Every structure is written in structure tokens, then in C-alpha cells.
Amino acid sequence: MEEHKRLFVGGRWTAPGRDEHLAVVSPHSEQPIARVAVAGPEDVDRAIAAARRAFDEGPWPRLDPAERIAAVRRLAELYRPRRREMAQLITAEMGSPISFSKFSQATLPMMLLDAFAAIASAFPWEETRSGFFGSDVLVRGEPCGVVAAIVPWNLPLFLLVGKLAPALLAGCAVVIKPAPETPLDALSFAELVEEAGLPDGLVSILPGGAKVGEALVNHSGVDRVSFTGSTAVGRRIAAACGASLKKATLELGGKSAAIALDDADPAAVAEGVKVAGLMNNGQACVAQTRVLVPAARRGEFVDALASMVKELVIGDPADPATEIGPLVSRRQQDRVRSYIESGRREGARLVVGGSEPPSGAERGWYVGPTLFADADNRMTIAREEIFGPVLAVIPYRDDDDAIRIANDSDYGLSGSVWTADGERGLAVAQRVRSGSFGINQPYSMDPVAPFGGVKASGIGRELGREGLESYVDTKSISGARVATNA
């Protein structure tokens, strides 16, 4: 069993302040695969003190942006040959099928590093404006300070890099808390950070549970919080940040809709929902688990979806043929099963799957992909984020009704529309309240495009230029030309 006895604090491997560990357990075998040191309050204090020194006194925030860009590109080059190893590691720790891990879990983080370096190269770090009152104004983008980045377990490295890269490029120091279920990829990435030769104090990685996250959020030495996770926890973080006037980006839950218009091909919709609704074993905030179909053609769409779900390969996530692996934990397995039972009790028609373990997967935290038909948007399975491989087909009357149902949600993160008419699809996309949307494709998190949600799906944006801007404070300096020429 792998042992991690040290913490990565301020760019150095150090002994933790107390002898506490957590076990990383394989979702497939239910056996421990690693033992990891857990950060305590004193470790949080040490990491933030190191980050404050790096930010307040160190060279990083004051470097020419080109030097920070070069450092992030160096980190990308160091990561490049480790992609296969990282994919296998994430599959082992959280059960993501290796077919999904190779790109989404392991290659996308490298692409993020490259993309953010390119975005930073074109970013207007300084701009001189002709002032309205006669003197020039210099507008500068400056780093926002010490960042606490709290990362979930479902896309652990992608989301870690999505916070770390723009924060570093902006000139910030960062303390990262990976999820207790998935600390191994973060600790492996810490080795690359060390090898990249970043200044002391700039990056810390502190495994642990809710207590570590709470200590980071409430610490007076933290200037900004970036959190990805559940809406319930996001609300508490928002309240804490509001009380101390910390800036925060919150990327939270979703209950997105895939809308099949009456001219759509059922087979194409089913193939799209296979990715949009069931990627990563259904454990994705962007999962489009409400499938809205025209009432007059509901049978065709349900049949196509049922055929797709029945053909999915369930099994060992390390097998390249596997399409649906285990859920991350027993708690998550129990949670998803309870939602399936809720759907049955509330009157949705179970077409495929159910709460019983799928055949051949009696060991491990598996839930078979499940399809409900004739669901109503008021049902629990249509209102709450399940975070598992469960789809609910909801019929609608016409385009206006479909849009109404899609918008009848506490969430607004993702979505898609499927149609033979691109202009009609765009008209639907423009009326659905969500932070992102796809036309005849599942929404993909493109590194150049801002990502985030509306309503209970969060506050702020990650990725794209907007993701970099969220770590930048804007300063205006009046009389800049006079000061420059003096």
C-alpha cells in the first residue's frame, strides 16, 4: 500500500503537525490502496504563513508576466510525459473509467496549462487610458493575493489545475485542499511543482476533510476562495466569505436538461446523452440527466435511450472496455440508490436498471445505469442533483414548454438542444438559463471559454480569460504619464 507521510507546504515536503492519516480506498475492490497524512490547523497556519511571505515579500507577484508564463509552460512540459500515469492513478482512487481518464482526467489538465499560458500572453496587464479630466490613467491588473483552492473528487486534477494555473499566472500564492477521496493525484502533481522550481511558499497542498476546508475559508490570511463542490457547502462558504469580505468563486451543482426537439434523430440524441448524462459514471456537475422529449414521439426517444443504456459496459474501471465504473464511495452508492427508489415511489416508470447491484458487480460501489421514463419535473429525481448514472425522461408539448421545463430548476449550469435546424437550436439555447450550453453536442468545457453557472449553480466563472481575470485585482493610477516622465 502506498504511503504519503509528508505534506507539501510552501513548496517543500514536511512532516505534518500531528499523526493523523486517511485511507484512500479503491471504489472497485473496496480495499485500501494508500495512506495519506492529513493536515491539521497548525499545518494550515504554516501553509498560509508561507503563502503570505511569498506574496507579500517574494518576487513572484512582481515578476514580469512573461516570466510567470514561462514557469507555467515549464510545468506543462514536466507534466506531459506523466499523463498515462496520472490517468491510472485517478482511475484507481475514484473509479473513473480509464477510457474517460485518459483524456478528461489526465490530458485536459495539460491542455489547461497550455491554454492559460496563451491567455495570459494576450492579457492586458497594463493599459493607459486618456483621462476624462486631462491626465492619463494607468489601469493595471495585479494579483489578488493568497488563494484557498478547494477541489472536489470527481475531476480532481482538471479542477486543481483550473484554479492553480490562472492564480499563478496572475501572481498569486495558492493553498490547495484536495478532496479526502482523491488526494493522490494532487500529491503526485506536487512533485511536478517542486521540480518546476517555483519560489518557496508559493504552492501548498493539504489533504484533509471539511475541517481543513473550513480553516482555509475562515483564515484571515486568505484573500480569495475558489471552491468547486456541492451547493449546500457552497452556501456556507459564501456566507463565511461575505462575513469577512473575501472574494469567492463558487462552481456548484447542476440538474441540466438535454432537450430533444421534434425534428431530432433519437439515435443521435441517445448517443449524445451517453456522454452528456453518464460521463464519469454520472458523477459530473454538468451532467444532463433530465432528457426532455416531445410527447408525440416519446416512445421513439425512450426506446433509443433504453437501447443505449442497456449496451453500456459495466465493470473494472481499469479495463479499457469499461464505460460505467463504480461510484466514488459507499456513501455515494447509497445516496444514488435512494434516489432510484424515490423515483419508483413517486411514479416514474423504470425502464432500465434499478437500485440492485448490476450483474457481475457485487463487489465495489457500483450502481447500474438507470433510465426512468414518464417522469414529471416535480419529482425528486428531476429536482435534485443525483451525481450518479440516472436519467429521467420528461415529455413536453412544444418548444416553449420544453424551455419552461428546462428553466424550472434551482440550478443553471449546463444543457443542450438536439435538432436538425441549427437556427432553431440557437433560439432555444438563448432562452435556457444556464452558464453553458451545447447545440447538437454535449457541452464541453473548452479551456478558452468561461465556465460557471447561474442560480444555485454558483457565482463567478472559471476557464477562459474570465477565469484568469477572477484572480486579478484592477488598480487605477492617475497622472501615470507625468509620473513616468518625471
SS3 of residue 464 by DSSP: helix
251 noted as active-site residue: yes
Q: What is the torsion angle, in degrees rounded to the nearest 10, for the CA atoms of residue 291, residue 295, residue 296 and residue 302?
A: 40
Whole-Å CA distances, 229 to 21, 69, 131, 150: 23, 28, 43, 8
Instruction: Compute the Cα dihedral for 156, 158, 164, 166 and give only its sign.
Output: negative
Find the angle CA(39)-CA(251)-CA(120) to the nearest 5 degrees.
90
Taking the CA of residue 375 as centre, how many other CA atoms within 13 Å lie in the half-sphere pointing to its CB?
28
Tell me which of 181, 251, 323, 469 is the catalytic residue: 251
Grid coordinates representing 196? Answer: 518546476
Q: CA 192, CA 190: separation in Å to the nearest integer?
A: 5
Whole-Å CA distances, 201 to 135, 146, 204, 409: 39, 11, 7, 43
Grid coordinates representing 436? Answer: 453553458
Whole-Å CA distances, 405 to 143, 245, 257, 278, 377: 41, 36, 9, 21, 7
List, in order, residues 6 or more apart from 435 with CB less than 8 Å away.
412, 413, 414, 450, 451, 452, 453, 454, 457, 458, 461
Whole-Å CA distances, 354 to 186, 262, 300, 386, 410: 34, 29, 21, 14, 26
Tell me which of 181, 241, 285, 385 is the catalytic residue: 285
Angle between helices 184-196 and 156-170 (to 10 degrees): 30
Q: CA 413, CA 434: separation in Å to the nearest integer?
A: 5
Amino acid at 240: A
> Cβ–Cβ contacts within 10 Å for residue 212, how many?
24
Q: CA 95, CA 201: separation in Å to the nearest integer?
A: 33
Q: What is the largest CA-CA distance in the chain?
A: 79
Which amino acids are annotated catalytic? Answer: 251, 285
